[in-house]
């Protein structure tokens, strides 16, 4: 989860988030390279008492500073398109979960099983303890087995919400009358926190998301409790 003075990404728990972090590092290296070159040229021209006449007018230098940015954009666009296709790809999911946004809580339904649905409200202040996270924990968590492809469907009952878990690299808009889908593939157990990322009213900040990742046997025992 995101902690105080954390300036980087959260630890990835899905292959998609790993790809997003690698793409971020790739683009940042290109941006830093461009920034250093530009600052070097600016300071060298500012501090120099001489003027290079070949920089004032020349077709070759104009050709160079047109081609180089185009090549850099290609190196950025190709991995970006690859990740965009990975985000939309859902192949042979073994489990389907539907989440519906309300003002101001989430409700979940395990579509592959009969009568498994529940509401997820933010934990009240009276029920909180030193073992819970204030304004982030909920009374009913989403339970998902790791190492299993899960199709997650999102919609809304009233206004526009957004189901977001940063460590998954997943942000799905919950729109009334529409169903969006995304892929969840967890690589390790743990608790992963998220929040609604679309301003949906006065209690927008008080509808958190908590995803609990467990192994398959524990997940089957959890299902048997319903």
Per-residue pLDDT reduced to its tens digit, 34-54 = 999 989 988 887 888 777 766
147 and 185 in a single domain? The answer is yes
Whether 129 shows a pLDDT value over 80: the answer reads: no
8-state DSSP, 100: E
66 and 102 in a single domain? The answer is no
- What is the number of domains present in the chain? 2
- Give a yes or no: residue 9 inside a domain: no
pTM of the model: 0.79
Whether 226 shows a pLDDT value over 90: the answer reads: no
Higher pLDDT, 112 or 154: 154
- Give a yes or no: residue 1 inside a domain: no
Question: What does the pLDDT average to over 194-221?
Answer: 90
166 and 109 in a single domain? The answer is yes
37 and 140 in a single domain? The answer is no
Dihedral angle computed from the Cα positions of residues 30, 35, 36 and 39, in that order, rounded to the nearest 10 degrees: 160
Domain housing 159: 95-225
- Give a yes or no: residue 140 inside a domain: yes
My answer on whether omega of the bond before 104 falls inside 30° of 0, hence cis, is yes
* Cα angle for residues 12, 132, 108 (degrees, 5° grid): 65
- Give a yes or no: residue 106 inside a domain: yes
Share the mean pLDDT of the chain: 86
User: What does the pLDDT read at residue 1?
Assistant: 62
104 and 161 in a single domain? The answer is yes
Residues in the chain: 226
């Amino acid at each position: 989860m995101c902690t105080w003075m954390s300036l980087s990404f959260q630890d990835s728990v899905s292959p998609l988030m790993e790809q997003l972090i690698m793409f971020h590092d790739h683009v940042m290296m290109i941006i830093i390279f461009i920034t250093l070159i530009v600052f070097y040229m600016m300071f060298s021209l500012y501090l120099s008492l001489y003027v290079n006449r070949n920089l004032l007018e020349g077709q070759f230098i104009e050709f160079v500073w047109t081609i180089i940015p185009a090549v850099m954009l290609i190196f950025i666009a190709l991995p970006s398109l690859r990740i965009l296709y990975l985000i939309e790809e859902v192949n042979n999911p073994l489990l389907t979960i539907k989440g519906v946004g309300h003002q101001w809580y989430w409700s979940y339904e395990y579509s592959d099983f009969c009568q498994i649905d529940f509401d997820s409200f933010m934990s009240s202040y009276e029920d909180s303890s030193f073992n819970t996270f204030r304004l982030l924990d909920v009374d009913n968590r989403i339970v998902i087995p790791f190492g299993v492809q899960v199709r997650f469907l999102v919609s809304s009952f009233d206004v526009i919400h957004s189901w977001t878990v940063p460590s998954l690299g997943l942000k799905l808009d919950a729109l009334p009358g529409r169903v969006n889908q995304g892929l969840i593939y967890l690589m390790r157990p743990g608790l992963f926190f998220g929040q609604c990322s679309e301003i949906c009213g006065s209690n927008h900040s008080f509808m958190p998301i908590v995803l609990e990742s467990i192994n398959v046997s524990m997940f089957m025992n959890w299902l048997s409790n319903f």
